[in-house]
Structure formats: C-alpha cells, structure tokens
Amino acid sequence: MRNPSRRLKSSASSFHANRFLIAPAAALLCLWSAPRLAADEPADPPAAVPRQPTVYTVQPIEVEIDVDGRLDEAPWQRLPTFELAYETRPAENGPAPVRTEVWIGYDRNSLYVAFLAHDPEPEKIRGRLSDRDSAFQDDFVGVVLDTFNDQRRAFEFFVNPLGVQMDLTQNEMTDGEDDSWDAIWDSAGRITEAGYIVEMRIPFSSLRFPKGEEGMTWGIDAVRTYPRGQSHRLGLHPLERGNNCYLCQSSKLVGFEGVKPARSIELDPTLTASMSGVREDFPEGGMVHGDPDIEPGITANWGITPNLVLSGAINPDFSQVEADAAQLDVNTQFALFYPEKRPFFLEGADIFATRFNAIYSRNIADPDWGVKLTGKVGKDAIGVIIAQDSRTNFLIPSSQSSALDTLEEGNVSTIVRYRRDLFGATTGGFFYTGREGDDYSNRLLGGDILFRWKDTEAARIEILGSQTRYPDEIAEKHGQSTERLTDYAMRIVYQHTSRNWMYYLLYRDVGRDFRADLGFVPRADFREGETMLERAWYPEKAGWSQVRLGGRWNEVQDQGGQHLSRDIEIFSWAQGPRQSYVRLSLYEGDLFYNGELFDTDRVNAYGEAQILPNLFVYLDATVGSQADFANTRQGDLLRLDPGLRLDVGRHLRINLDHSNEELEVDAGRLYTARLSQMRATYQFNVRTFVRWISQYLDVARDPSLYADVVDARSRTWYNQILFSYKINPRTVFFLGYSDNSFGDDQIELTQENHTIFLKIGYAWML
C-alpha cells in the first residue's frame, strides 16, 4: 500500500491476459446486484404525471419595482402566483422538503419575478459571489420560459442567494442547455433569517416572443435547487422520468395583454489594446517590446422584426478573454476539441448547433468583419453568419488520424442554418457552410430531422455532402488530391428512453473525401455502428438516488472494409449522498493503426463528492492497454486525473486539476506526462473579480525508445492574471497580463514572451 502506482502498473500489465475473466465476473456482479437494487426501490409506483398542464395567469404591475432583494413593494404583498410543490430529483415527484413562494408579474417593458425561498437551516445555504454563469454549485432559483409555447426552445434565468446571474437556452433539437447565451437583465439576492429572497427584472427586449397584444400563452417552469446531503431539484410541476421532451411537460402562463416584442437597436463599441514583449534571441537576451496595438471596433444589433436580429461587426474584438483549459495531447490519434468562447459567435449559438458538429465557429480564426442574422418567425428559425477571415485553419481528417495546419491567407466564411417546427414534436431543417479563398474552397450542404413520439421514442437523421479543393501547398504537404474532392456523410440514431430503460442504435458513415472545414469532424473514411442498453434503479432507501447498469458495443471499419476498432463496455454508475457520483467501466477492445492491430482493454473508474461544504474532490483513473502511436507498438497505460474545488468564504475559489499519464512498452517507460492547472478567483462582488490561471506541462521521454528524434524533457508554463469588471455581459472592463515559458534538455525553463492587454466594451441601447 506504500506505492499504489506500482500496484496499478502491475494491473495494467496483466489486464490483457485476464480480460476474459474480468468480463464474466462483471456480468455476474451485475446479476447479483440487480435484485438487491430492485428490492430497495419504492414499493409503490410513482404517481402518474398529469397530461394536461396547469394554467397560471400573469398579473400586471402598476407600480415601480426596485430590484433590491426586498419584497416591500405592493405587488409582492399579494398572494404568490404559485409555490414549488414538487421534488422531481432525487425524489420522484414527491412533496418538496422546503417551501418556495414565487410571484410573477409584468409591465409594458419587463417581466418581474420574485422568489421567497424558505429554509429551516439558513446557515446551510450555499451562496458565493462568483462570475455570471458560474454558480450552479450553489442554492439557486429561476424560471424557464418557452415564450413561443412551441416546446422547442426556452430561455432560462437563474439567480443564487447573492444575486449572481445564470442565463441559458434550452434546445430540444440538441437535447441540452447552452450557457453561452447572455442577456441583459437585473437581479438581486439576499439571505435572511428564514431563507433567502431573489428578485429579477427581465426586459422584454432581452426575449423573443410572438406578437400578442390581446394576450399570449407561454410555457413555464420554475425551479429551485436545494443542495444539502444530495442536490434536490424542486419544480412547479411533476416531471416524468424517461420522457424525452422536457418542455413538453411545462405548465402554461397566460396573459401579457398589451405587451409588444421590442424592436431594439444596440451599439456595442469596443476598444482593445495590447503590448507584447518577445525574447527574440531565445533563450538569451532580454525582451524586445513592439509598439502598442490599439484596435477600436463596433458591433451593432438591430431588431429588424421583433424576433429577427441582425448583428454586424466592423474591426471587432474577436479575442477570447479566458484561457482554454489545457489538455494532454502527448499520444493522441485525433485533434482535440476546444469550445467556442468569443461573444460574437456565442449569441444564438444554439440555433447553429448540429449533433454531427458540422458547424464549429472556432474555425473562423481571425475575422476582420462579420455579419450575423438570427431569430424565429412563426415555426421557422434561421441563423446566418458571414465573416471575412484573415487566416485559414485546416483540420484534415483520415480514418486513423487527423492533421492541423494554417495558411496566413484570407477567406470568406458563410454559415446558414434553417429549422422548422413540423408535426407534433418533430423538427427538421438544413444547413450550409462555405469557405472561399483564392485557390481554395469548401462547401457543405446538409439536412437533419428529429422525430419524437410516445414521449419515449426518438429518431434523428442527418445527411450531408461536401465539395473541397485544397490549396496546392496544403494538398502536397498532407498528401491530399489537388483535384476537387466530393463525398457524403450521414448519422442515424434511434433512441428509447423510459423510466427504467434506455437504449439506442447508432449508425454513422463518413466518406473518404468528406470535409467539414467550418465544422469539427476530425475523422473521415469510416463506417461506425454502436448500440447501448442501460437499466435504471431508484433505491431511495439505500441512500443512493439513482443506480444504472448497462453495456455498450461499438465497431468501426473504413470504407474499404478494413477493421479499425472494436469496443465492448460494461458499466455502472450511481448518484448518492454528499452529491456524489461514481462510475466503473470495463472495456474489452482492439484498434487497428498503421497496419497493426493493438489491444485497448482497460478499466476506468471515476468518483466525485462534496466531502465538506466548501470542498469538492474528484478522481478519474484509467489502467489498461494502449497503442503507442508514435512508434506503432503495444503499450500499457496508466492515467490518473485528480482535482478539487475549494471555496474560502464567499469570495475566493481555488480549482486545482492534475493529469498524470504514463505509457510503458516492452523496453521500458516511453514517457511520463504531467499537466497541472490552477485557477484562483477572488470575487469582490457580483460585478468584479481578479483571477489567476496557471498551466504547467512537463513531459519526460526516453529518446532511445523512439524511432524519431525527441527531447528527453520538455516543459511549458502559461500564466494569466485578469481583472474583470462587468455591469452586464457587454458593458465590460478587462485588464490582464499573460506570459509563456519553455524549457527542454538544453534550456532551463525560460520566459519566451509576455503580453499586457486591455479591453473596454459598452452596451448602448437605443
């Protein structure tokens, strides 16, 4: 026990030999566990969820409301509009453990919402000062508004007990929430002796909804998250477990007489400035500083119609203020994905989303100008982006690997997305992307449709075709044809979800010459089949709110029929006390690479828990077989990813993450890669914070075990310090510093460059 790493490495080396014993043993364990879990389930089935939604009436407000977290205005003295009577998680539509009163009203310009969240133990309320969209670990309350009442898309507004805002969109087409959307609205929160109070004012100019001077009907849910031993979700109405449409179960809010959608104009001028120093004679000599780079710009948003917004940007700031989370890429087969963080592309991003990742705006690298149109008219939703890019990034896929490259040449990028609400809960549409350069073009046209029926069944079909002509320089460098490439891709999924069972069947087919240069498709020339079956139990008496057991099979071959990979997984996961989540996965599989077949048998275990009110920890561990892609041989992998989140009072949060990866081959240790990341944020108030991000990567290799020349050691160290002041998402002030350092066999870790940067933005509403 003094050397757990040695024990894990021993397991890795013997895993391949014992894989035929592990899988049957896991199956026997699952069969033994199933009746025990079933015995712990509630004896009585849950009450049926009502099929007809409850209807509430929104009340007009005639007096001015001061959003200060105090319910002393006259409208809040009336009886509450509703109470959150149901606990939908972990209990199954049981009575709420605490009382939550909700008032909702409107005037001609804004929607007002107030929450009185009672708590018998107010000292246990979790509420921290943090940046917007960052308080989901706290207590919080909010509303979900399906303003078109079409059960396709909704706006979500949440606030923690100290007034921190979180706004998202809910999209049934993509089956998820997106926190990239940022609206301009007001909120306030205050902890009291009996719980906490939250007030919100949401301007109608920040919403989209149809004309309805004589009244409208919106879908609505109101939510409270109550994290104690477990995280309890309290809601306005029951939710049916296994129902594949959340918004279809919403209550209804009627009224809004005399309210008209706003046709607003917003001007967002920005000023960015930076000054960099570079050690030109690296690693010797001092830093050479260039002239300051000052860039004014402006972005304008115009409501052409109440629900159709045109955005234009001239010399805009397309930089991202927050650094990407670093990822280990020492022994990877395909390109890594990094999320979009630039505000211009985040607005309305859910409209452009596809499950095939055919649209990835981060491939618009450094635009000089951009135009965007987003909105919904009736049953039709549309999104258009056109941008002049000064740099062209390439992701070149193949069946066994992908390559990245860049040309400092411009292009015009175009993205068009159209979606229409069809019969029932079915939605369909098409999308087009195009990049045009001097001797380069990529054009993609695709269509998708999502069928839903019986609340448990869903099928999604995506069909795409592309034409590509690479620049001669890129084609010759990466072995691509200089002629026009034309090919297709498709993805078909059928999925069943019910209270106790979930399964799906997936087929994906991507042609050899298919390219999505404005998407993220790192693999081409393959056919893939996958199926998964999962059983759920809800053993409330056992202390675990949910336990699931399942299996998954996946097989991939190239378009010529060559076997590429096979993966069989048996897994189980559970949610329990202290907001814990644990998962165990056993894999048996293989991988064909560079003419040889490799074992990929492995075990993965993951666990996380809130062990103290202010301390959250996790550990992800993988041990098993892995191919050495650099030298085409078999290896044994050990990877450990521990991390923690520590809250110090209401102002300071520290996140520490570490990755340690080791690959052993027959001749010895090929490499050890360690990546450590620290993020420390001190939040002065809901508008102001200072943050330090530090990322350190250390890779040690044995050069004698590599076919090519490699350094025995390489190190990089990145730091960023940022001061941020935000009145709203677009009225901002940022001041920051960043630097990069590098070291290898011959060079001590030495700073290569540093940058001081400034950004000022202002939202001017007309």
Each residue of 552-583: pLDDT tens digit? 999 999 999 999 999 999 999 999 888 899 99
Identify residue 164 by its one-letter amino acid code: V
95 in Cβ contact with 87 (< 8 Å): yes
The rounded distance, in Å, linking the Cα atoms of 697 and 90 is 40
394 in Cβ contact with 517 (< 8 Å): yes
Phi–psi pair at 237, nearest 5 degrees: -145, 165
- Lowest average pLDDT, out of 15-29, 431-445, 577-591, 679-693, goes to 15-29
For residue 160, what are the contacts with CB-CB under 8 A and spacing of at least 6? Answer: 127, 128, 130, 135, 138, 139, 140, 166, 189
Give per-residue pLDDT as tens, 613-654: 899 999 999 999 999 999 999 999 999 999 999 999 999 999
pLDDT band at 19 (very low <50, low <70, confident <90, very high): very low
Residue 388 is assigned to a structural domain of this protein:
no
Count of structural domains, the chain = 1
**Tokens 């860049």 found at:** 406
The rounded distance, in Å, linking the Cα atoms of 143 and 151 is 15
pLDDT band at 5 (very low <50, low <70, confident <90, very high): very low
Identify residue 487 by its one-letter amino acid code: D
Residue 509 is assigned to a structural domain of this protein:
no
Give per-residue pLDDT as tens, 353-402: 888 999 998 899 888 899 999 888 878 889 999 999 999 999 999 999 99
**Is it the case that residue 176 has pLDDT exceeding 80?**
no
The rounded distance, in Å, linking the Cα atoms of 765 and 265 is 6
The rounded distance, in Å, linking the Cα atoms of 529 and 554 is 6
Structure confidence at residue 48 (pLDDT): 53
The rounded distance, in Å, linking the Cα atoms of 332 and 639 is 14
- Rounded to whole angstroms, what are the CA distances from 714 to 58, 670, 698? 62, 14, 6
Residue 409 is assigned to a structural domain of this protein:
no
Q: Which two tokens stand for residue 697?
A: 């990567």
Residue 440 is assigned to a structural domain of this protein:
no
Contacts 24+ apart (CB under 8 A), 522-525: 522/334, 522/335, 522/395, 522/397, 522/402, 523/334, 523/397, 523/398, 523/399, 523/402, 524/397, 524/398, 524/399, 524/487, 525/397, 525/398, 525/399, 525/558, 525/559
**Is it the case that residue 45 has pLDDT exceeding 70?**
no
Structure confidence at residue 17 (pLDDT): 41
Residue 326 is assigned to a structural domain of this protein:
no
Residue 766 CA, distance from chain mean position? 33
**Is it the case that residue 713 has pLDDT exceeding 50?**
yes
pLDDT band at 444 (very low <50, low <70, confident <90, very high): very high
pLDDT band at 719 (very low <50, low <70, confident <90, very high): very high
**Is it the case that residue 31 has pLDDT exceeding 80?**
no
Structure confidence at residue 395 (pLDDT): 95
The rounded distance, in Å, linking the Cα atoms of 395 and 294 is 31
Coil vs helix vs strand at 204: helix
Structure confidence at residue 376 (pLDDT): 80
Coil vs helix vs strand at 247: helix
125 in Cβ contact with 214 (< 8 Å): no
**Is it the case that residue 26 has pLDDT exceeding 90?**
no
Mean pLDDT value across residues 583-592: 97
Structure confidence at residue 1 (pLDDT): 36
Give per-residue pLDDT as tens, 447-465: 999 999 988 999 999 999 9
The rounded distance, in Å, linking the Cα atoms of 696 and 700 is 13
| Residues spanned by the domain of 251 | 55-255
Residue 99 is assigned to a structural domain of this protein:
yes
Mean pLDDT value across residues 350-355: 85
723 in Cβ contact with 735 (< 8 Å): yes
For residue 734, what are the contacts with CB-CB under 8 A and spacing of at least 6? Answer: 321, 722, 723, 724, 725, 757, 758, 759, 760
Q: Which two tokens stand for residue 62?
A: 């005639």
pLDDT band at 328 (very low <50, low <70, confident <90, very high): confident
Measured distance between the N- and C-terminal CA atoms of the chain, rounded to whole angstroms: 68
**Is it the case that residue 672 has pLDDT exceeding 60?**
yes
The rounded distance, in Å, linking the Cα atoms of 404 and 393 is 8
**Is it the case that residue 58 has pLDDT exceeding 90?**
yes
Give per-residue pLDDT as tens, 146-167: 998 988 889 999 999 999 999 9
Q: Which one-letter DSSP state was computed for residue 523?
A: B
CATH of the domain at 110: 2.60.40.1190
Cβ burial, residue 99 (10 Å; 0-12/13-18/19+): middle
Structure confidence at residue 695 (pLDDT): 97
Residue 148 is assigned to a structural domain of this protein:
yes
Residue 233 is assigned to a structural domain of this protein:
yes
Structure confidence at residue 266 (pLDDT): 86
Verdict on whether the full-model pTM lies above 0.95: no
